[in-house]
Chain A
């Protein structure tokens, strides 16, 4: 899947650039949390997950959206209808993100140890 490949590449790039604070696909059996993109919102807009969790964003809208970290530490490709983007969060902390096409759409991930 091109989406998964892109994710892996971004994950590795991020890991290299930010001291491996973010990793690509988590280990087998690790938890996955889905955030739906629907009606121009991230649903749920705020999630709290354990370190190591993979977040999967799925676009259910008839318009592309993207997932961009507030300081652009990571950025998904544009996700057309039905496409998804995954990223694992290894370290505890807070990640805020928005849609690069519709920046009024915001979301937040709280990663607990």
Chain B
């Protein structure tokens, strides 16, 4: 699958040229403060790009604790994903986890997830999914474990800078309103507006949150109520990359200077929007599971070139 990226109003210095979806992980390379090119995981191209800048990964929706037919061993597939990370010749600077670390926010689920993910030896920055905040304290356990470490505000939002790239982690899964979608809320939006105030327009921005920050399919709740307000604060930036999880499948969209991407789960797939009576774990034959969780490469080429998206099955990786 590939589609054209006709947008060429902004210098491609500010655009991601290339990124990799490696099964459950995405390898990004950022050079000289600008998201640039990466190659296939472990490839010479990626190694070369890293020498100029840095790389990071995205994993998502590990759902530790899930054991239903769609994947009775969600811990095994997370381990496989982490094994891929460990095998990388080109060590990423850090890894983003875009939520649903656990299935039911149980301490033992968090413990196992930490053990498996921690074995990669890579610094991990998290945002919560709705499954991570169903403890009695509605997110207290998450904040204790992951929020404090990054000095997260409110229910878990924060930002950090890496080699000139500004990363913003948002929480759109707590205090959800009846009938609504994902929600950022007033306090978080105020914080965001303030957070980006001092940044130059040329600063590359990466936003990561669990539920998609664009409306993928509202009938299934796949969108964020007030994401337009957040994106409004980011409008002036030349390069904004939005990384989400939640829908357990790869999707992308380009809107102005903003590129949206959803990641695969490490646990189980979900149906494409509208192709089933409801969202939820999608059962595929066991031998096909790893092909569903397969590898995707997305390559951003130079301005004017088409945006190339290449899928490779994890089983073939």
- Using a CB–CB cutoff of 8 Å, the interface residues on chain A facing chain B are 39-41, 61-64, 66, 68, 70, 77-78, 80-81, 96-98, 100-106
Known: A39-B280, A77-B136, A104-B181. 18 other contacts (CB 8 A): A39-B278, A62-B68, A62-B280, A64-B131, A64-B134, A66-B134, A70-B178, A78-B134, A97-B178, A100-B130, A100-B176, A101-B134, A101-B176, A102-B130, A103-B176, A103-B178, A104-B180, A104-B220
Which residues from chain B contact A97 at a C-beta distance below 8 Å? 178
Cβ–Cβ contact A62 & B281, under 8 A: yes
- Using a CB–CB cutoff of 8 Å, the interface residues on chain B facing chain A are 68-70, 103-105, 130-131, 134, 136, 176-181, 218-221, 277-281
Which residues from chain A contact B136 at a C-beta distance below 8 Å? 77
Q: How far is the CA of A102 from the CA of B181 in the complex (A)?
A: 8
Cβ–Cβ contact B278 & A64, under 8 A: no
Measured CB to CB, the nearest residue on chain B to A102 is B221
Which residues from chain B contact A96 at a C-beta distance below 8 Å? 178
From B68, B181, B219, B277, contact of A39 by CB (8 A): B277
Which residues from chain B contact A66 at a C-beta distance below 8 Å? 134
Q: How far is the CA of A61 from the CA of B219 in the complex (A)?
A: 17
Cβ–Cβ contact B221 & A103, under 8 A: yes
Cβ–Cβ contact B68 & A103, under 8 A: no
Measured CB to CB, the nearest residue on chain A to B130 is A101
Q: How far is the CA of A63 from the CA of B277 in the complex (A)?
A: 14
* 6 pairs of residues in contact across A and B, judged by CB atoms under 8 Å: A68-B178, A78-B104, A80-B104, A103-B180, A104-B180, A105-B221
From A41, A62, A77, A104, contact of B179 by CB (8 A): A104
Measured CB to CB, the nearest residue on chain A to B268 is A62
Q: How far is the CA of A77 from the CA of B104 in the complex (A)?
A: 10
Please give the distance in Å from A93's CB to the nearest CB on chain B.
17
Measured CB to CB, the nearest residue on chain B to A97 is B178
Q: How far is the CA of A101 from the CA of B104 in the complex (A)?
A: 11
Among B70, B220, B278, the most chain A Cβ lie within 10 Å of the Cβ of: B278
Please give the distance in Å from A75's CB to the nearest CB on chain B.
8
Minimum-distance CB pairs A-B, first 8? A98-B178, A40-B278, A39-B278, A104-B221, A78-B134, A103-B176, A62-B68, A101-B130
Measured CB to CB, the nearest residue on chain B to A104 is B221
Which residues from chain A contact B104 at a C-beta distance below 8 Å? 64, 78, 80
Q: How far is the CA of A103 from the CA of B131 in the complex (A)?
A: 13
Please give the distance in Å from B225's CB to the nearest CB on chain A.
9
Which residues from chain A contact B179 at a C-beta distance below 8 Å? 98, 103-104, 106
Cβ–Cβ contact A64 & B103, under 8 A: yes
Which residues from chain B contact A106 at a C-beta distance below 8 Å? 178-179
Measured CB to CB, the nearest residue on chain A to B68 is A62
Which residues from chain B contact A98 at a C-beta distance below 8 Å? 178-179
